[in-house]
Amino acid sequence: MMTRGSYITTETIEQIEERVWKCSGMVKTMLAMPNNVAYIMLYNAHDKAKTHPAYRHEAKRLFKRTVEEYREYEKGLYCAQENRMFHVGDMNEQTRKRYGDITDRDYFELWQDMGSKGYELALPHLQALTHKFRLSLRRRNIQEADILCHLLTASAVMEIALSFYRSATDLCKSEFKLPEQLVTRLYGGFSLQRVKQSWERACTALAPYRYPLEEIEEKNIAMSISDIADTWSEQDNMLAAVIDAVENNEELFRTRGEMKKVLRICTQELDES
């Protein structure tokens, strides 16, 4: 408890550490699918953008800058000293012994791999969203609609990821009682805000195609966006993504038995959440 001179007892420090440990696990699990699918969509849409006639000069430079911005986001998660979300050295002894010769980058990529399952689970809704954007663009006779629809989908998925980030950080403050300043310092690196802003600038330079949606278009697009978000919110799907990533990276664990222990722990933690 706090006393004069801001003295904190050892018990209070342990309680805060326990809350931060649980909170960090929650944040990483909640954001694994939306954040990492956002990268998949950005990467795929960038490939489409390269085939656009206007992909040159300023537009090309800005798209490359977005890729650099994403790399900075990655480094901010597994290299930065201030958050250490994927720092192997911060694992407790019991957790560390389950892994073999694992690096911080390996630990980060294990989390990233959850995006593969997230993409697979949401693919029908992602395709539906892209098709709705395509129809909307064609209805207005906007050139290169088959390219631009993918850019719009990538933007929408990044916005979904940001909404998950806001929900996760709100839970840190409301459920885990962590102060806002600490939440921002620990988990601010998970925000894709800078990447999305850079992406929007690049898209605008390529083709300033923004326009107000008709009411029915807005409802249909919102429905697909809601379907995607709901898919990534379902606990069973979060667990499926964890299992998929762990089983695809079996070589990171000391033994197959230790890998199975991690899966059991993850299942139990998600059941209790």
Average pLDDT per block of 10 residues along the chain, 273 residues long: 46 74 92 98 98 97 98 88 80 88 93 97 98 96 96 98 98 92 93 98 91 93 98 96 95 94 85 71
**Residue 198 burial (10 A CB sphere; 0-12, 13-18, 19+):** buried
pLDDT at 10: 56
Question: Does residue 262 form part of some domain?
Answer: no
pLDDT at 93: 87
Question: Does residue 154 form part of some domain?
Answer: yes
- What is the span of the domain harbouring residue 103? 33-234
pLDDT at 3: 45
Q: How far apart are CA 115 and CA 113, in angstroms?
A: 5
pLDDT at 211: 85
Question: Does residue 75 form part of some domain?
Answer: yes
Question: Does residue 62 form part of some domain?
Answer: yes
pLDDT at 4: 43
Q: How far apart are CA 150 and CA 143, in angstroms?
A: 14
Question: Does residue 19 form part of some domain?
Answer: no
pLDDT at 237: 97
Question: Does residue 145 form part of some domain?
Answer: yes
pLDDT at 7: 45
pTM score, whole prediction: 0.91
Closest alpha carbon to 88 in 263, 253, 258: 253
Question: Does residue 241 form part of some domain?
Answer: no
pLDDT at 83: 67
Q: How many domains does the chain have?
A: 1
What token pair was written down for 189? 């690196």
Question: Does residue 251 form part of some domain?
Answer: no
pLDDT at 40: 97
pLDDT at 157: 98
pLDDT at 210: 78
